[in-house]
Amino acid sequence: SDLSDDEDTFTVQSTNPGPNGLPGASALFVNEDDTRAIADTIVIYPDAETATTTLREALPRIDTVVADATPKPAPVGTDGTMAVGTSPDGSKAATLLLFTHGPALVRLEFQSALGDATTDEYVINVGKMQQIALRTGLPQ
């Protein structure tokens, strides 16, 4: 899998062709030890403006996914935003990356053991791989 690195080999645990009944796809990847997970959700909106508006409207509620986090710009896609903290229940390290590419809104959520947060570099690299996949897979 493209998500694997020197530390972890990730495999797909589940997929959903229509997250929450919306056009798009989602997939959950876990490592061999079941200690790290990456949830990748892509929703395709009618246009880029709707995707951007939806991303911006989600930012004030980011703490429902990542607690104790301050969103910061991320160099991925349009309006790339990253938040690093813990899961809302405090049981896991959590990082969220949101960005748009045309009409697509991408949400990448990384979870791991407390004290073992996913590195910013890895999060950005996975985001850029997803952006490249969208660039080649979405109609122009």
Q: In the numeric block, which tokens belong to residue 101?
A: 């590419």
Give Rg (Cα) of the chain. Answer: 14
pLDDT digits (tens, 9 = 90+) for 33-73: 888 999 999 999 999 999 999 999 999 999 899 998 889 99
Assign residue 9 a region (left: φ > 0; alpha: ψ between -120 and 50; beta: otherwise).
Answer: beta
Q: What is the per-residue pLDDT for 4?
A: 59
Q: Is 124 helix (H, G, I), strand (E, B) or coil?
A: helix
**Whole-structure pTM value:** 0.90
Distance CA 83, CA 95 (A): 6
Mean pLDDT of the chain: 89
Region 3-10: mean pLDDT is 68
Answer yes or no: are the C-beta atoms of 123 and 95 closer than 8 Å.
yes
Domain for residue 2, yes or no? Answer: no
Question: 23 is in which domain, residue-wise?
Answer: 10-84+98-137
Q: Tokens 């710009």 belong to which residue? A: 73
Q: Is the pLDDT of residue 14 over 70?
A: yes
Distance CA 68, CA 116 (A): 16
Domain for residue 5, yes or no? Answer: no
Domain for residue 93, yes or no? Answer: no
Based on the structure, what is the number of domains in the chain?
1
Percentage of the chain modeled with pLDDT above 70: 94
Q: In the numeric block, which tokens belong to residue 52?
A: 């951007």
Q: What is the per-residue pLDDT for 10?
A: 81
Domain for residue 89, yes or no? Answer: no
Domain for residue 91, yes or no? Answer: no
